[in-house]
Chains A and B, each alone.
Chain A
Amino acid sequence: NAGVTQTPKFRILKIGQSMTLQCTQDMNHNYMYWYRQDPGMGLKLIYYSVGAGITDKGEVPNGYNVSRSTTEDFPLRLELAAPSQTSVYFCASSYHSYEQYFGPGTRLTVT
């Protein structure tokens, strides 16, 4: 199993551009999550999903959108990139509600 994969690994965006961070898991997990990690801070939950077709906001959802059309995929969309969205983004999944399996992260810089 590849586990949780994320693409791209790195990206530089200009202010106002849009992009989609991809996340795929091959463990048939129902729960999926997107976090951002800012320097010196813990992980902040952006959005989560409890199954295909079901998503909900986390702690810091503004400026982001998600969709969950399949069990495997949970893409995160940035519509109008802002410098405040410069961060490392982690996708995670879990079968039950507790132990989470993380992807390698995407380092995003908005200038």
Chain B
Amino acid sequence: AQRVTQPEKLLSVFKGAPVELKCNYSYSGSPELFWYVQYSRQRLQLLLRHISRESIKGFTADLNKGETSFHLKKPFAQEEDSAMYYCALSGGTGGFKTIFGAGTRLFVKA
């Protein structure tokens, strides 16, 4: 079965520190991996996807097929990065349906 696991419910770091939000997945087929973000009082929105290989707001994520991971990283966290982050998977045997992880709340302290 396809599954997305985010092992940390809460991650707290100091401003300027590196941050890594972990995401592991299981799949059948060729999935697409995404990171969605929800800032306070805003709607859920796409942050980045693995096929675009881009950096958004300083965040990057590399798909590691060997470890079935898609960790989200940023070298220097900012207070405005505080938000809820969801790793998501679609494709494979699930087709276009997207499976979401439980989410990690990132809190960046001043």
The residues of A with any CB-CB pair to B shorter than 8 Å are: 4, 31, 33, 35, 40-43, 45, 48, 50, 58, 90, 92, 94, 96-105
Closest A residue to B101 using CB positions: A42
The distance in angstroms between the C-alpha atoms of A30 and B4, with both chains bound, is: 25
Asked if A45 and B102 make an inter-chain contact with CB atoms under 8 angstroms apart, the answer reads no
Chain A contacts of B49 at CB under 8 A? Answer: 98-99
Asked if B98 and A45 make an inter-chain contact with CB atoms under 8 angstroms apart, the answer reads yes
Asked if A97 and B102 make an inter-chain contact with CB atoms under 8 angstroms apart, the answer reads no
Asked if A102 and B45 make an inter-chain contact with CB atoms under 8 angstroms apart, the answer reads yes
Number of residues of chain B lying within 8 A (CB) of chain A: 22
Interface residues of B in 80-110 (CB under 8 A from A): 86, 90-91, 95-103
The distance in angstroms between the C-alpha atoms of A58 and B98, with both chains bound, is: 10
Asked if A97 and B4 make an inter-chain contact with CB atoms under 8 angstroms apart, the answer reads no
A42-B102, A42-B103, A98-B49 known; A31 and B96 CB under 8 Å?
Answer: yes
Chain B contacts of A90 at CB under 8 A? Answer: 44
